[in-house]
Chain A
């Protein structure tokens, strides 16, 4: 359908001999500002990342802030100050240094230039500020204040939510067998099957609006494809690890942005597995969902199901990040407001309290 539309629009353009020209931006000045991102969790040491925004009229590179002063206030009292974990020497591609790409590089102490991927900085990129000892506490209010000489001081406040009261009611595997005909392969029908793992989780929801995130990890041992036998086999040297599940399937409106999913409806993207209690406020509620996978989980006790209570700010932020990313490739999509809570800047200071649920077969 899109192809036809594009053809029509193109034809329309030709018909009316449209013309393009570069124009000068004539609006209010677009300034850079600080961007602070972090989630305060009762079971984790505090860690933030600080960067600055990139305006549309400057090269699109990541700009991390490595000289900010970060103050942490607990219920209004200063409890800790942070400075950057590691000071990196960041350089950007220019004609002179012959670097390419649209991201930054790091000049190491031995004068070699390496990409962050080569340095394996994915987990701890530049601009990371962390506390070696400080863990936020449930029920308390925290304010993060970030000062840097070139930018307006920014701050954000958040309350650490109470732990969600929940338990796994059941986990069970179900074999789904289906038959289909692929005329490109064979005229006869092919029967295949996969495992569907069904979950039931009971939540005792307290009064007031509450926001939740499911973090689901299942055990997985890497497998290798055997060309000769045309099948996967388990690598005897590989170790079992937990992998995250990005998609759960459910007809429950609670897990579908509080809307009733249509029989034919497309899968609604919810990769952060977010939901709230709008439809069961203050009541006991059982969530039912399943995952489809080729990795049959035999030992349910190895499944890590964390029902995380999250702050409203984090919920709205992640929803908006999802909408923004999902609409990136559709030129007809509406603009997406990123729901930040950092005053005078952007980013999110969220809060979460995890509750890892266990289940024994």
Chain B
């Protein structure tokens, strides 16, 4: 490693001396010409030698070249590339607006995806644009960002329909999900069947599965960087969608043209409202809904300074309400009757709130800064409230509330520095102040005879923690065909006077074997200071976010990845990536433990162990033209080992993780024969999830004393955890969009069919006793049969 760093420094110094002679810098923004939205990861390069730059998440680029005459090409997938010829004899600022490609221009459109995959040092990264998300078949008509990510190699879903991400053998807690740079702790709606990201509000999603750049940290397995739309700076636009389970509204436009813009979107389900007239009020009213609100405002003070304020809030709520009114008699004075009312309210809800205030400032054409104030809150609650009123006076009450969650406030500062040609340095830091609520139960009691209400609070106190990191990375073009991204990420975490720190090197390299073939390799070390305590039996939002403590160490991982990227005709890529990942200090519930009983300390309910994961991912992808899509295949193995003293699971032997799957296949196809119609088809196949099936019951040791009387004389016995596989999962979805230009906009009818051939996929397996034979049978519970859906949307 030292030799490598020396080589990098030496080469950098030489380049610096050489470049000081007569180099100049071109910098600026690349934007969409209709909306002014900045384009992320757009390519800016010299087409002769492919040397160039990529726009950062705010659309800014900086390219330093020796004095001379150049043709610079600006390109972005789905947009018509632009070339400009310049005489470079001084620093220049060039802002470029790209226009979306018409179908007729298909031949000339070469997406950045292809170029980027070959040229970039970054591997294990996938960028999803929202057009793809909206064209693919949607579950219940709800286009979903996370579900689209699940179709990529190396990314697995949890159970049927869920939005959980299991990336390269990691758990759902090991994904850093960022919405405009703010961590989102629960990205699920409706118990995980939908994600919280409303595609109307999202501009771009980037997924990192490995080869993590030094600017990211705090999670082991993936980074999902979601960027919200900034809002149209030039014209007012909007739209709405009416679907089977939800409706959406989207508005964007300038507040001050070319200076201040906003975007706003809202979504709410209405199954609860539709069901209400059909419910018997005497038996109580049950309902479930979720909603999302996204809002963003940005203001350009000058070409150098821009401020963004973005916010997201979303909530899921299941509720039950029952009211009974009756006349009651006083048993001591039967003639006294009172009007009594019993009210029972139960609800279960969880909600996210994220806010960021971001300031982009360009110091000069080589130094770009981004400063962000961060706020994120997630909480989960279950409550029940029973009240009795007599003649409108509250006489009896007993209520119960379980509450858990996490709250973050922080500051992030990062810089993009382009000191000389062939170097792109990023550096910065972040500080987060976490407040953990590990689960508190509050009970209230009030009886008729008492005036006061008794409050009982059980559970752990809030925990407060400080997390900070600093990073530096440099993208260096060492030789004409060798490029390197080397970085260091240093993080520290402090909770209750216990501190941890970690120095994490990150390296990724790209070697151009030919102009069509690239080899890449990456190494990254990651450390995670947060744990998600989740039960393995069913995925519920009761999962608890908890800090590293003196007893529970931070999770850590090392990942090695290598791959080949081949682009035979420039329109599509074929890639093969292999990875090997080790993980340490993973946590699991100890045998027999359950997320119930918050009164037991969570630290006493868990074991710590390690994991390993390795696999091969193959991807053939076409991103441009009338027909786009990909075929992905993953072979992987993921195992866990818990064999520390008093932390033994599976008898101290390696065992398959719950989401260990040998094969995953996804075929994704979209076709757009004309502007009036487009359709998408997806087919997925994966090995069944692993579960623990106790194959035998055994007699227990009979002791004459010390045995609780309810203990059974037999117990379930299994020889290995996760020893049984559910049946394989496969499913075909189809979706079609019919567009029509209307007077003021475009209307779209979407018809989607989920699970076209009505495959009964396993959600979970259970055993039931056959009463006739007194033996057990295996029962499979499936969730979704064939589900057609329709939605109408209008955009102006």
Residue among A32, A268, A327, A338 with max Cβ neighbours from chain B (10 Å): A338
Give the residue name and chain of the B residue nearest to A7 (CB): B320
Is B763 an interface residue when CB atoms closer than 8 A count as contact?
yes
Binary A-proximity of B705-748 (CB < 8 A = 1, otherwise 0) = 11110111111111001011101000000000000000000000
Is B46 an interface residue when CB atoms closer than 8 A count as contact?
no
Is B458 an interface residue when CB atoms closer than 8 A count as contact?
yes
Q: How far is the CA of A273 from the CA of B706 in the complex (A)?
A: 7
CB-CB under 8 A from B716, the residues of chain A are 324, 335-336, 338
Partner of A337 from the list B383, B703, B721 (CB cut-off 8 Å) is B721
A265 touches B698 (CB 8 A): no
A1 touches B382 (CB 8 A): yes
Q: How far is the CA of A125 from the CA of B706 in the complex (A)?
A: 19
Residues of A1-43 at the interface with B, using a CB-CB cut-off of 8 Å, are 1-5, 7-9, 11-12, 15-27, 30, 32-33, 35, 37-39
Q: List 21 A-B contacts (CB under 8 A).
A: A3-B384, A19-B781, A23-B727, A27-B724, A53-B697, A54-B696, A54-B697, A55-B695, A58-B775, A59-B773, A61-B774, A123-B704, A187-B449, A259-B601, A259-B604, A330-B596, A333-B593, A334-B588, A334-B591, A337-B591, A339-B651
B191 touches A12 (CB 8 A): yes
Give the residue name and chain of the A residue nearest to B320 (CB): A7
A212 to chain B, nearest CB (A): 13
Is A278 an interface residue when CB atoms closer than 8 A count as contact?
yes
Q: Which of A162-170, A221-229, A295-303, A342-350 contacts B (4 or more CB under 8 A)?
A: A342-350
Is B784 an interface residue when CB atoms closer than 8 A count as contact?
yes
A295 to chain B, nearest CB (A): 16
B706 touches A246 (CB 8 A): yes
B537 touches A102 (CB 8 A): no
User: A53 with B769: in contact, given A327-B592, A338-B717 (CB under 8 Å)?
Assistant: no
Sample of 16 further A-B pairs with CB below 8 A, known A35-B698, A244-B705 = A4-B382, A16-B783, A21-B782, A26-B727, A58-B775, A60-B774, A62-B714, A123-B704, A217-B705, A246-B708, A262-B460, A324-B592, A332-B596, A334-B590, A334-B591, A335-B716
Give the residue name and chain of the B residue nearest to A333 (CB): B594
B596 touches A7 (CB 8 A): no
CB-CB under 8 A from A49, the residues of chain B are 699, 702
Give the residue name and chain of the A residue nearest to B591 (CB): A336
Partner of B782 from the list A18, A264, A273 (CB cut-off 8 Å) is A18
Is B767 an interface residue when CB atoms closer than 8 A count as contact?
yes
* Chain A residue total in the interface (Cβ 8 A): 91
A203 to chain B, nearest CB (A): 19
Which B residues contact A (CB, under 8 angstroms)? 161, 190-191, 193, 271, 286, 288, 318, 320, 346-348, 382-384, 400, 402, 441, 447-450, 458-460, 535-538, 540, 588-597, 599-601, 603-604, 645-646, 648-651, 692-708, 710-718, 721, 723-725, 727, 760, 763, 765, 767, 769, 773-785
Closest 6 CB pairs of A and B: A323-B592, A327-B592, A53-B696, A30-B695, A244-B705, A336-B591
Q: How far is the CA of A326 from the CA of B603 in the complex (A)?
A: 19
Is A202 an interface residue when CB atoms closer than 8 A count as contact?
no
A59 touches B775 (CB 8 A): yes
CB-CB under 8 A from B699, the residues of chain A are 35, 37, 49, 51, 62, 347
A128 to chain B, nearest CB (A): 9
B348 touches A8 (CB 8 A): yes
Is A208 an interface residue when CB atoms closer than 8 A count as contact?
no
Q: How far is the CA of A9 from the CA of B286 in the complex (A)?
A: 12
B708 touches A325 (CB 8 A): yes
Is A293 an interface residue when CB atoms closer than 8 A count as contact?
no
Q: How far is the CA of A333 from the CA of B696 in the complex (A)?
A: 18
A331 touches B537 (CB 8 A): yes
Residue among A258, A321, A337 with max Cβ neighbours from chain B (10 Å): A337
User: A334 with B781: in contact, given A5-B348, A61-B774, A246-B708 (CB under 8 Å)?
Assistant: no
Binary B-proximity of A219-255 (CB < 8 A = 1, otherwise 0) = 0000000000000000000000000101000000000
